[in-house]
């Protein structure tokens, strides 16, 4: 395969593990808690129950995340590159619904 043919292959959309995403977006205090949250089946992605910490999340996915007495429904706008301030984390998702 020459160099020109390699450029024609479409790039896969970026993804991020759900445990990292929950930690980066500050829905969990640390990565271990984020992994447990995902593995216990409390989180849903696009209406589907998640039971693994390695499930890949893409831009545009809708997550349902329980947090204390509240349940947050958010749409991922941008995948963060790292854990940063709460303000920067909140700019990566859109809140669709927050309720009990």
> What CATH number corresponds to the domain at position 52?
3.10.290.10
Q: What is the pLDDT of residue 11?
A: 77
Q: Does a structural domain hold residue 4? A: no
83 close to 23: Cβ distance less than 8 angstroms: yes
Q: Does a structural domain hold residue 3? A: no
Report the distance separating Cα 23 and Cα 72, nearest Å: 15
pLDDT at 98 over 80: no
What token pair was written down for 99?
């309720």
Looking at the structure of the chain, the number of domains it has is 1
Q: Which domain holds residue 72?
A: 13-99
Q: Does a structural domain hold residue 2? A: no
Going through the chain in order, the beta strands assigned E by DSSP cover 15-17, 44-45, 48-49, 56-58, 62-67, 70-76, 93-99
Confidence of residue 4 (pLDDT cuts 50, 70, 90): low
Q: Does a structural domain hold residue 26? A: yes
- 65-78: per-residue pLDDT in tens? 998 889 999 999 99
Q: What is the pLDDT of residue 5?
A: 57
């Amino acid at each position: 395969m020459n160099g020109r043919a390699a450029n024609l292959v479409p790039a896969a959309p970026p993804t991020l593990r759900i445990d990292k995403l929950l930690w980066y977006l500050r829905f969990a205090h640390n990565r271990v808690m984020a992994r447990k949250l995902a593995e216990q089946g409390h989180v849903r992605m696009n209406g589907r129950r998640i039971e693994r910490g390695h499930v890949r999340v893409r831009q545009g996915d809708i997550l349902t995340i329980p947090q204390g007495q509240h349940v947050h429904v958010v749409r991922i706008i941008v995948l963060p590159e790292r854990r940063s301030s709460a303000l920067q984390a909140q700019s990566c998702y859109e809140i669709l619904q927050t309720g009990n």
